[in-house]
Structure 1
Amino acid sequence: MPRVLVVDDETNILLSLEFLMQQAGFTVTTADDGESALERVDDTPPDLMLLDISLPGISGFDVLERLRAASATRDMPIIMLTAHGREVEREKGLALGADDYITKPFSTRALVDKVQALLSEADDDTP
């Protein structure tokens, strides 16, 4: 089963996304801040990450930059999932290498579809 790492500092959103991804058939790990997210990636690299921008300590943008700078995680699909809906933030997220940028509130079905599509694309790129 594909592994999804959900990173959000709001407990209710973290639990909701964890449940949603488990129901969709994914193995899910969670982190509630940027440091923990990077540790989880080092311990057991996920197949895809759902990443909030507003995190205590290291921001989601900084986590994204670090993951894109490392060869092991450069191509890991990352979806920014955030309440920050301004176009400038969306452009920044995509420019830093996010595969998609989804604003809260969001359609759970659309999110699951996007996760499945990105995982399928990643599988297609595997040699």
Structure 2
Amino acid sequence: RLAGVRKYISCEPSTKTFEGLEELASFAAGDLEVDLRCCGSELFVPDDTVDLVFTSPPYFNTELYSDEATQSHVKFPTAQTWRLGFLEPTLRNAAAALRPGGYFLLALTARRTHRRAGLDLEADVQEIAATLGLQQ
């Protein structure tokens, strides 16, 4: 087990990627419990609380993994609708899943392309996190 992890929970909206994750999960070693869900993180609320949430959002429309209707850039085609419909609910769900004292890790990049699209991910995440009581 990596760092004492007993359970891995993941959500994935792309059906092709989800199928690959299911195949990888079948190789999970030891007693690691793997809980995979085929849905977007804006819809996913874990049944249990967790000690750690780690995520990296798809950066609106700069990382296009598929053109399925489940993809956040398809569901929310403007920077503002993506922020309101995807980013905020994703962070809210992550915060709700954390046990008291838990950690929320978010991998971000501050690309100029985001700003040209009307999105300042770092500022948006900081603003949303503050309203959710998440601290830096």
**TM category, shorter:** 0.3 to 0.5
TM-score scaled by length of structure 1: 0.42
Please identify the structure whose Cα radius of gyration is greater.
Answer: 2
More helix by share: 1
TM-score scaled by length of structure 2: 0.41
Higher relative CO (Cα under 8 Å, sequence separation at least 6) belongs to 2
